[in-house]
Amino acid sequence: MQKSVLVELVRSLNKKEIRDLHKWLQSPAHNQRQDVIKLFDFLVKSLLQGDESVEKERAWAAIFKGEPYDDAFIRQVMYFLLKAVEEYMVFTEISNEKIQYQLTLTRIYRQRKMDKAYRQALRTGKDLLENQPLRDNRYLRYKFLLEQDYGQQVNIVQNASANLQETSSAMERWFFAEKLHIAYAMKAHQAVYKTAHYEEGILQEVLEHCVTQNLLVEPAIAVYYYAYMVIANPQEEKYYFQFEDLIQQSTLLFDPSEMRTLYVAAINYCVPKINQGRQEFVRRAFDLYRKGLEAGYLLENNQLSRYTFGNAVGAALRSKEFTWAEQFIENFQKYLYEKEANSIVNFNLSRLYFEKGDYSKAQQLLTQFEYDDMLFNIIAKTMLLKIYYERSDLDAFESLVESLRIYLQRKEALDPARKASYKNLVSLMKKLLHLNIYSKQQKEKFRELVMATNPLSEREWFLKQLDAK
């Protein structure tokens, strides 16, 4: 029973839902069985007490005290309770979705040929749609459904004016928005999973039609048109700039979860540009993180992943926004998963101290923790290498270079591009150790090597060491 849909569904309920469901089950309109209520109360009590082993036999003993166990009957009670809970969930969902509620109401009035009530319900639905701020895919979908419903009423009221063009246009806008959204998702998936293959169908025709028919005035179409063009044409930076402008203009037009998708898409475009040495994108990435975090868009279920946390700190440090980075670590650590919060906070504090030149504090934090994440371990070891070199602790430097080389060799799961970058870093660190800093010829030769090495993280740091000596 503990693995049943019923138990999982009851486990997912919040306190308000539990209270409302109890009232729902007590209404004869929704439930006429006392054993269903008793089973619900038993499950709620058990799950609230943290009981993970909810057995049918125990439920039976609590509901039917002293009666011999009947597996078929308890399964029947479970079925009726599940159906009652599902009906409650569906009713609540529809009731909270006011426009969907009105659509259902218009259909009821239309089917009953109550023309006056129908027109009022339809008008209310359209007013609700236009008065709410969102202009996302759901807005276009509801706009189409409302027009379509009115078109069906024409068949009932013969003298009503046909709206076939309005219905067709609304349907096309909804379709184009959905097509572009999915096309972007496909392209983003392919960027991560190189072997993934998707048929694009009529995508090229859709892209062209959106431009020629001026459909980019529709926010839900425009954002995913440019999101797709950005990822499909990374060298055409004009698409990115238009996409970024659209995001800033769309704050109230999309819900937070969709804004998160858009912000992540923009940030993901900036990252390879930064890796290519395009410093102007460092600031753009930082501004995206700052605005996205302050608005709550980059939180997911009120949680912040360690990667987003670290990337935000990294963007701030590259932009020399040390005060913001410090305040961010202080104010946003509460959104990290509790079990990893301490390590992540200390890791990022060490990065902050390093960039501020407080190598002692940075080193203390870096040697205090072992991270279970490969990338974090590599970044931590890289920072320690830089600290050892800048503090002229060359024995520790040489030992750690070799340690990092072996670590990279063993980590087969590391992304090949990152692995290549860090292998190049290890190779240059070895050469840096034996570089005669007083030889202009050797320094220039090393500089040329640094500039020619790709991929490479810490390129700026290597060049800084040459200029500092």
Which residues lie closer than 8 Å to 50 by C-beta, 6 or more apart? none
- What is d(CA 174, CA 149) in angstroms, rounded to the nearest whole number? 15
If asked whether residues 53 and 115 sit together in one domain, one would say: no
**Residue 444 falls inside a structural domain:** no
Which residues lie closer than 8 Å to 19 by C-beta, 6 or more apart? none
Closest CA to 81 of 56, 51, 98: 56
User: Which helix or strand (DSSP H or E) is residue 167 part of?
Assistant: helix 164-192
**Residue 218 falls inside a structural domain:** no
**Residue 22 falls inside a structural domain:** yes
Report DSSP letters for 211-248, one per residue.
HHTTGGGSHHHHHHHHHHHHHH-TT-HHHHHHHHHHHH
Which of 174, 206, 233 is the last residue before a domain boundary?
174
Q: Are 308 and 320 in contact (CB under 8 A)?
A: no
Distances (CA, A) of 205 to 62, 209, 211: 64, 6, 10
pTM of the model: 0.82
Ramachandran assignment for 358, one of left (phi > 0), alpha (psi -120 to 50 degrees), beta (any other): beta
Token output for 79 = 């079925």
**Residue 106 falls inside a structural domain:** yes
- What is d(CA 340, CA 356) in angstroms, rounded to the nearest whole number? 25
Provide the residue type at 30 as one letter: H
If asked whether residues 44 and 107 sit together in one domain, one would say: no
**Residue 387 falls inside a structural domain:** no
- What is d(CA 203, CA 209) in angstroms, rounded to the nearest whole number? 10
If asked whether residues 83 and 134 sit together in one domain, one would say: no
Provide the residue type at 300 as one letter: E
Sign of dihedral through CA atoms 356, 359, 361, 367? positive
User: Angle at the Cα of 152 (from 146 to 154), degrees rounded to 5?
Assistant: 110
Provide the residue type at 351 as one letter: R
- What is d(CA 227, CA 459) in angstroms, rounded to the nearest whole number? 30
Token output for 388 = 């050892």
If asked whether residues 91 and 22 sit together in one domain, one would say: yes
Which of 157, 174, 191 is the last residue before a domain boundary?
174
Q: Bridge partners of 303?
A: 300
If asked whether residues 82 and 124 sit together in one domain, one would say: no
**Residue 295 falls inside a structural domain:** no
If asked whether residues 79 and 120 sit together in one domain, one would say: no
**Residue 74 falls inside a structural domain:** yes
If asked whether residues 126 and 90 sit together in one domain, one would say: no
If asked whether residues 12 and 92 sit together in one domain, one would say: yes
Q: pLDDT 10s digit of each residue in the chain, 469 long? A: 667 899 999 999 999 999 999 999 999 999 999 999 999 999 999 988 777 668 899 999 999 998 999 999 999 999 999 999 999 999 999 999 999 999 999 999 999 999 999 999 999 999 999 999 999 999 999 999 999 988 877 555 555 556 888 999 999 999 999 999 999 999 999 988 888 899 999 999 999 999 999 999 999 999 999 999 999 999 999 999 999 999 999 989 999 999 999 999 999 999 888 877 788 999 999 999 999 999 999 999 899 999 999 999 999 999 999 999 999 999 999 999 988 898 899 999 999 999 999 999 999 998 876 667 788 889 899 999 999 999 999 999 999 999 999 999 888 878 888 889 999 999 999 999 999 988 999 999 999 999 999 888 888 899 998 887 5
Which of 45, 65, 96 is the last residue before a domain boundary?
96
If asked whether residues 28 and 54 sit together in one domain, one would say: yes
- What is d(CA 265, CA 151) in angstroms, rounded to the nearest whole number? 38
- What is d(CA 282, CA 462) in angstroms, rounded to the nearest whole number? 19
Token output for 404 = 């990092």
First to last CA, the chain: 71
Domain count, the chain: 2
If asked whether residues 108 and 170 sit together in one domain, one would say: yes
If asked whether residues 92 and 113 sit together in one domain, one would say: no
**Residue 273 falls inside a structural domain:** no
Range(s) of the domain holding residue 56: 5-96
- What is d(CA 428, CA 455) in angstroms, rounded to the nearest whole number? 12
